[in-house]
Structure 1
Amino acid sequence: MTENPNPPSRPIDHLALCGAAGAPALLIGDRVTTYAELDAGVGRLAAWLLEMAGAPGERVASWSAKTRLACLMPLAAARAGLIHVPVNPLLKGAQVAHILADSGAKLLITNAARADTLGGDLPEACAVQELKVAEEVIDSVGQGLPPSGAGPDDLAAILYTSGSTGRPKGVMLSHANLWLGAESVASYLKIAPDDRVLGVLPLSFDYGQNQLLSTWHAGGAVAPLDYLTPRDVVKAVARHRATTLAGVPPLWVQLVESDWPAEVAAHLKRLTNSGGALTPSLIDAMRTTFPNAAIYPMYGLTEAFRSTFLDPKFVADHPTSMGRAIPHAEILVCRADGTITADEEPGELVHCGPLVAQGYWRDPARTAERFRPAPRASHYGGTAVWSGDTVRRDANHLLYFVGRDDAMIKTAGNRVSPTEVEDVAVASGEIFEAVAFGVPDARLGAAIVLIVRGKAGADPEALAAHMKQNLPNFMQPQAIEWRAELPRGPNGKLDRVAIAAEWKAPS
């Protein structure tokens, strides 16, 4: 049966209306926000945002921990006809300044300490509002904006993601992208109104934000959590009686090594994974630690939200599979000429359908590289995302990951651009050039290695200090090696393949 090529969607802010009025929607600490309170708070915040930003279509950014404001922003900005730009709270000032400037954000909501780190890098056109003021608006008694009548193709958000070259690029997401993504995940995970979803992933990630959106689509409650140790996650599962937990492989490694009281582990009935593949041994450990939980391995890319999931019934016998297409996605495995591969023949994963984003913000060149016409075999047609990832399809139509064509480093569930790490290193003034790449790591998925050619009298400690000051923890090199010379290819460019091949991990 062919899925409707144009599935119906609603404005994303209507998610505040999906649950019963008195049912819990948001659990932060001991505070419970009902769906009625969620809708009212979204309306008041929307009215204030529109007043601060000046007009519909402006970009408004939020940069904070998992506060109530951070959770309501995706809906409130959309209700006001604004475009939300969530910023990863782990990023440093220079990176945030780039996102603000690139998006043309008219407003940034954050706390004073974060704002101070921007210094003179804050774009002139971007005003800053204190986080506490926005929280007071949510609790005020003023009249808010009613649910919006936005069209499905209206832009709702710009999510910044690292590319294989250059600085992060903004992925443009429409109301339909977000609504249908929420509906898709809620349906295949079978989330119900009595479910409690513990949201441990950053809300600036599509996977993290969807923890909110899919839960609200199903009428359930989400408990956002900023955690320092795995023990914090164990305590939060117990406190909220969480039924659902999303994670990335490095987190699962930590959680299965933690001390779980049997009655707490028993609360969890579904575990979802993305941001890297689960190994068979890790899956076995998860099944042992959480005996009542169904495991959902998933694959996705910000440009199309999510592409595949593996039904829990296949996990035991096909633990390394990516699964099949999620609802509202059409996944094709294509040759270079766009024709469909045979079973077991490797090809490029191409994602078609209404979850495909609208391209990269103000970047037509990179948009044209990734967003291209769908293969002729697609029943959706239109624009598709050509992922750059090589996969194969077996006779049961299950997909398996083969390799990544670009140089992205996937570490601790994050996509890291080697170029961004290299640019920061060179900016230290201690080195002439640098090459960053990933190497397999049991806990991180991939560890970042940095090979540098230093200047005369260079100070390795100064370079390391500069990296720590200007890059978040997940982008820090695990090893920095200094070389007098670096291999080059015939064209004079650094030979990245040779440099990576020559590197040997320290014993």
Structure 2
Amino acid sequence: MTFPDPTPHPIDHVHLRARSDDIALIDRAGSWTFAELERAVAAAAGWLATQGLAPGDRVASWLPKTRAACVLPLAVPRAGFVHVPVNPLLRRAQVAHILADSGARLLVTQSTRAGTLEPGDVPDRCAVVEEECLPARGGAEFSAGPSSADPNMLAAILYTSGSTGRPKGVMLSHANLWLGAVSVAGYLELVPADRVLGVLPLSFDYGQNQLFSSWYAGASVAPLDYLAAKDVVRAVERVGATTLAGVPPLWVQLLEGHWPDTVAAGLRRLTNSGGALTLRLVRGLRARFPAARIYAMYGLTEAFRSTWLDPALIDAHPDAIGRAIPFAEVMAVRPDGTRAAAGEPGELVHAGPLVAQGYWRDPERTAQRFRPAPAWSEQGGTAVWSGDTVAQGADGLFRFVGRDDEMIKSAGNRISPAEVEEVIVRGGEASEAVAVGIADDRLGQAIAVMLAGKATGEPSLRARLRGELPSFMQPMRYEWRDELPRNANGKLDRAAIAAALREPAA
């Protein structure tokens, strides 16, 4: 694996290495070459520079995956401003919070979306413009050449989904974004012939990086807003996609869909983050997409991504999240700050140049999460203390244990929800499961689970679990749903599920 240019550059340069006549973007309207993409970026940046904004002002976008939504992540930083992408699935109250918290001076959106906002939702000094105002293909009137920004300057603020309270903005520099693109393009071995189907929100670091890493490699991106699994299947066939990224709930849906053999065989690369792949999912993906390499990854917005698992290892180690990605140092750290021994659980701490600059205008939460790396760290500096518990085996691979605030403490035992969930879905009675601890006078906490599936499968599930889990890991409450709640990024909304399970049973 080689990285031709590991030195950080302004993020708007990320597509400039590609051949100008290669295809950069594919949608239902046709395609753009890299030369056309550059003209669009230059024109949009030039137009933004005429809007009376000061350097460093925040420009928000609230859009589906239109061409403008793909251009703005490059055009806004090129113009000297900070991009704030807003998830198009969010509703007005969440959008209003992000606009106010970021101090946005400009919102680029659509009239239908702007019409849902109420008086007071948009800050007084924030102008609202429709995406049609952006020059689409460039021209003589507006044009801005590649920026010469300091790579350490702030380029974007990505807001978390808000499943555990109000969204908080993670501050990302040009260097954060650039090195993330270089790293992912390298270990995924993306090449110009690849066509990447972009189904994830562009406000999600995983989705935005698909643009940057693909364009860094000279590959094409086909952004897609979809309603059902069949839409994804059709898009894979329509664009000849070689690469598809998803989160576990999406894989569950896709495996339930109908895939013509020739379409499934065209996928060469599947990447997963936002939740662990279960053994059942790995086997299902392997059977459905026999030509695809499956990349399991772990990430957090505060450091973009921490680990990846070589696809050659996933069958033998489906429970592993892998090793540190290029440019990252990942450690398992004991509560006293020393290195955890092989196989010993410790907090995942991430150091290196992918670490974000903190939370926007939130020094208190920044101080809690962004702290000096352990004294024995190789890269040192500020690290992200993730709050996640991992163990690094003698084989060098990290394995996820659970979030400290999600660990279930029952009868003196610390129980990983992920371990319970994996055993539950292994048998097929439920397609998805979330386990949480609920108050119990005798145990301290008892295990409750919410499951996707039919309650008629509960007797056989209970019988199987009695043989596969020790007594202290047996769930005491089961709640069945046709579908489990999800947040705006498509991840399981664990906070909402936990709140529902902690309500008294009906």
TM-score higher than 0.5: yes
Alignment of 1:204-243 (within 5 A): 204-243=203-242
* 2:345/2:391 contact within 8 Å kept: yes
Q: Describe the shift of the 1:241–1:386 C-alpha distance in structure 2 as closer, same or farther (beyond 3 A).
A: same
Q: Describe the shift of the 1:474–1:25 C-alpha distance in structure 2 as closer, same or farther (beyond 3 A).
A: closer
Counterpart position of 1:357 = 356
* 1:53/1:107 contact within 8 Å kept: no
Q: Tell me the alpha carbon deviations over residues 380-421 of structure 1, each in whole angstroms, 9 at most, x when there is no partner.
A: 11100000000111100111111112359999xxxxxx9xxx
Q: Describe the shift of the 1:407–1:123 C-alpha distance in structure 2 as closer, same or farther (beyond 3 A).
A: farther
Q: Describe the shift of the 1:474–1:189 C-alpha distance in structure 2 as closer, same or farther (beyond 3 A).
A: closer
Counterpart position of 1:34 = 33
Q: Tell me the alpha carbon deviations over residues 55-106 of structure 1, each in whole angstroms, 9 at most, x when there is no partner.
A: 2210000001000000011100111110000000000001001000000000
What is the DSSP-based 3-state SS (H/G/I as helix, E as strand, rest coil) of the residue aligned with 1:302? coil
**Mapped partners of 1:300, 1:473: distance in 2:** 14
* 1:53/1:60 contact within 8 Å kept: no
**Mapped partners of 2:496, 2:74: distance in 1:** 43
Q: Which moved more, 1:45-54 or 1:167-176?
A: 45-54
The CA deviation at 1:503 is 4.9
What is the DSSP-based 3-state SS (H/G/I as helix, E as strand, rest coil) of the residue aligned with 2:358? coil
Gaps (5+ residues) in structure 1? 412-417, 419-436, 444-467, 482-495
Alignment of 1:188-199 (within 5 A): 188-199=187-198
Q: Describe the shift of the 1:440–1:294 C-alpha distance in structure 2 as closer, same or farther (beyond 3 A).
A: farther
**Mapped partners of 2:494, 2:172: distance in 1:** 34
Counterpart position of 1:373 = 372
Structure 2 residue 75 is the aligned partner of structure 1 residue 76: yes
* 1:348/1:386 contact within 8 Å kept: yes
**Mapped partners of 2:402, 2:302: distance in 1:** 18
Counterpart position of 1:131 = 131
The CA deviation at 1:140 is 4.0
* 1:191/1:218 contact within 8 Å kept: yes
Alignment of 1:36-51 (within 5 A): 36-51=35-50
Alignment of 1:324-473 (within 5 A): 324-406=323-405, 439-442=449-452
Aligned length: 436
Q: Describe the shift of the 1:473–1:212 C-alpha distance in structure 2 as closer, same or farther (beyond 3 A).
A: closer
* 2:163/2:493 contact within 8 Å kept: no
Q: Describe the shift of the 1:213–1:438 C-alpha distance in structure 2 as closer, same or farther (beyond 3 A).
A: farther
Q: Describe the shift of the 1:46–1:477 C-alpha distance in structure 2 as closer, same or farther (beyond 3 A).
A: closer
1:125 partner amino acid: R
Structure 2 residue 278 is the aligned partner of structure 1 residue 285: no
* 1:50/1:56 contact within 8 Å kept: no
The CA deviation at 1:474 is 6.2
The CA deviation at 1:16 is 2.6
Counterpart position of 1:101 = 100
The CA deviation at 1:345 is 0.6
Counterpart position of 1:415 = none
Alignment of 1:4-19 (within 5 A): 7-19=6-18
The CA deviation at 1:31 is 1.5
**Mapped partners of 2:244, 2:490: distance in 1:** 21
**Mapped partners of 2:360, 2:310: distance in 1:** 34
The CA deviation at 1:137 is 4.5
1:130 partner amino acid: E
1:9 partner amino acid: P
**Mapped partners of 1:478, 1:379: distance in 2:** 34
1:319 partner amino acid: P
Q: Which moved more, 1:9-18 or 1:323-332?
A: 9-18
Structure 2 residue 312 is the aligned partner of structure 1 residue 310: no
Instruction: Tell me the TM-score normalized by structure 1.
Output: 0.81
1:300 partner amino acid: G
* 2:370/2:383 contact within 8 Å kept: yes
The CA deviation at 1:473 is 10
| Pairwise CA RMSD | 2.9
Counterpart position of 1:122 = 122
What is the DSSP-based 3-state SS (H/G/I as helix, E as strand, rest coil) of the residue aligned with 2:169? strand
What is the DSSP-based 3-state SS (H/G/I as helix, E as strand, rest coil) of the residue aligned with 1:271? strand
**Mapped partners of 2:48, 2:204: distance in 1:** 22
Q: Tell me the alpha carbon deviations over residues 313-362 of structure 1, each in whole angstroms, 9 at most, x when there is no partner.
A: 10000001111100010000001121100001100000000000000001
**Mapped partners of 2:126, 2:340: distance in 1:** 49
**Mapped partners of 1:228, 1:165: distance in 2:** 26
Q: Describe the shift of the 1:208–1:68 C-alpha distance in structure 2 as closer, same or farther (beyond 3 A).
A: same
What is the DSSP-based 3-state SS (H/G/I as helix, E as strand, rest coil) of the residue aligned with 1:47? helix
The CA deviation at 1:441 is 3.5
**Mapped partners of 1:249, 1:145: distance in 2:** 40
**Mapped partners of 2:493, 2:315: distance in 1:** 35
1:27 partner amino acid: I
**Mapped partners of 2:108, 2:198: distance in 1:** 21
Q: Describe the shift of the 1:83–1:312 C-alpha distance in structure 2 as closer, same or farther (beyond 3 A).
A: same
**Mapped partners of 1:211, 1:95: distance in 2:** 25
Q: Describe the shift of the 1:170–1:501 C-alpha distance in structure 2 as closer, same or farther (beyond 3 A).
A: closer
Q: Tell me the alpha carbon deviations over residues 204-249 of structure 1, each in whole angstroms, 9 at most, x when there is no partner.
A: 0000101101000100100000011111111111111000000011
Q: Identical aligned pairs, as a percentage?
A: 60
**Mapped partners of 2:494, 2:14: distance in 1:** 42
**Mapped partners of 1:17, 1:33: distance in 2:** 14
Please list every run of at least 4 consecutive aligned residues from structure 1 whose deviation after the TM superposition is greater than 2 angstroms.
136-143, 162-166, 406-411, 437-443, 471-481, 499-504
2:8 partner amino acid: S
* 1:16/1:35 contact within 8 Å kept: yes
**Mapped partners of 2:405, 2:15: distance in 1:** 39
1:26 partner amino acid: L
Q: Describe the shift of the 1:355–1:252 C-alpha distance in structure 2 as closer, same or farther (beyond 3 A).
A: same
* 1:161/1:170 contact within 8 Å kept: yes
* 1:308/1:326 contact within 8 Å kept: yes
Counterpart position of 2:411 = none
**Mapped partners of 1:355, 1:476: distance in 2:** 26
* 2:87/2:488 contact within 8 Å kept: no
* 1:28/1:223 contact within 8 Å kept: yes
